Structure 1
């Protein structure tokens, strides 16, 4: 198992912790694959929790190489992201996001993919795609609209604003907001509730709920195909470079 992903068995719950706090737990292809592998092997548990180390939940896909991208590397990252989100949805056990800090970009889509989400009061949420030379095509532009409404989903996906945990709760992006010190205990309490329920029928309920996810699956693939075709574009390079240099991007005028 990768040191970038910490796996802990706690009774009937499998805890998966993203462990790259120095980059706000942004994942690369190998890290996404390690999380997916853990989810694929979680059938022996009653529930699964995904959280982050340090003060961030997940900043999505790592932008470290996007200022000088290669098509093969980006294709690997996109495919790994899709496999990760699919692994959450196909895992037979309930997957809970314990959002301990910023959930940005693909990290926000990670919350969308999870079955339930509990946020610490200090957590923040939002998409980053058009701000950094990308687009959130694996959940935010499609499935999130089912969860919080199309207009709100477009607001998140297109304006790239940051939202506090309470606002995310009001929109329906998370199930509950608790004080930071109560996050782990609250999530563990939900896991205890799952322990008293039938794993067989929880699995049926979960897989049945994938109707909208499955309907959007072809849209994910076509969206990622468009992103691959845009690898190395001036918008991608400028967005990633500006992000890494901590400045405002100067995108080219539309053609």
Structure 2
């Protein structure tokens, strides 16, 4: 495991391991290197004995994470990259986050969109600023996140709401995300850091062994979703090679509306 990270920041402070996606210039969208570093950092955090929590956040004031970086989606660092079913090891990142023996907390100060919304969904707890917004964007750009991004989401917010989130790709303010059960708490923007630190301080007083067992128990009930995700991402790989999916990426990068019907 390496501590020489380029796309993330790794720190141990405020009663937690802090893993910060450090790409604010692209709204903390992730690329291959980002995921590789996050996987490494999560494994490293799992061995940190001084704390019971891991806080996942994004640098800057605008975004927690806005999903995959569409500018590299079809480049050698994207679809045709060296690792992961779809080039980027998204499924490995989800597994590393889910398998943490510690309590994972998403600290969301701005946009949690697409893959970023999935990260927040998978985290054990999500605390958000009142300025935060959540939502999916996949079908708008010819993409989808099977498994935890869909099936597990429906466990949190219900089938009808989960389908709405994916089929309409709307954004939901933090207050509405709280109401639907997607997140745990909303606080004024300036109080977000203090609130997360307070939760981490409380969690750090708990038994690490008891927390690890509780997490395994929670995860066991939905572990079949991991299999669904790995199967689904095989289908996504084939879809990403289609002109329909590529049209979504091209349109996003060209800042125009996609014409999916031309290729469907």
Query: Which TM-score tier does this pair reach, normalised by the shorter chain?
Result: over 0.9
- The answer to whether residue 60 in structure 2 is matched with residue 57 in structure 1 is no
> Aligned residue for 2:156?
147
Q: CA deviation at 1:67?
A: 5.2
TM-score (norm 2): 0.91
Q: Go from structure 1 to structure 2 and tell me whether the alpha carbon gap of 1:186 and 1:135 turns closer, same or farther (over 3 Å shift).
A: same
- 1:230 and 1:117 map into 2 onto residues whose CA distance is 31
Q: CA deviation at 1:85?
A: 1.2
- 2:256 and 2:79 map into 1 onto residues whose CA distance is 25
TM-score (norm 1): 0.94
- 1:237 and 1:123 map into 2 onto residues whose CA distance is 29
Q: Deviation digits for residues 139-187 of structure 1, max 9, x if unmatched?
A: 2210010111011111111211111111100010000001111111000
- The answer for unaligned runs of 5 or more in structure 1 is none
SS of residue paired to 2:70:
coil
- The answer to whether residue 53 in structure 2 is matched with residue 47 in structure 1 is yes
Q: Is residue 109–residue 139 contact of structure 1 (8 Å, CA) maintained in 2?
A: yes
- 1:222 and 1:86 map into 2 onto residues whose CA distance is 14
Find 1:20's aligned residue among 19, 23, 35: 23
- The answer to whether residue 73 in structure 2 is matched with residue 73 in structure 1 is no
- 1:46 and 1:110 map into 2 onto residues whose CA distance is 19
SS of residue paired to 1:50:
strand
Runs of 4+ in 1 over 6 A off after TM superposition: none
Q: Is residue 81–residue 88 contact of structure 2 (8 Å, CA) maintained in 1?
A: no
- 2:224 and 2:33 map into 1 onto residues whose CA distance is 27
Q: Is residue 117–residue 136 contact of structure 2 (8 Å, CA) maintained in 1?
A: yes
Q: CA deviation at 1:81?
A: 1.2
Q: Is residue 140–residue 157 contact of structure 1 (8 Å, CA) maintained in 2?
A: no
Q: Is residue 157–residue 180 contact of structure 2 (8 Å, CA) maintained in 1?
A: yes
Find 1:99's aligned residue among 108, 114, 117: 108
SS of residue paired to 2:200:
helix
> Aligned residue for 2:253?
244
Aligned residue pairs: how many? Answer: 255
> Aligned residue for 1:172?
181
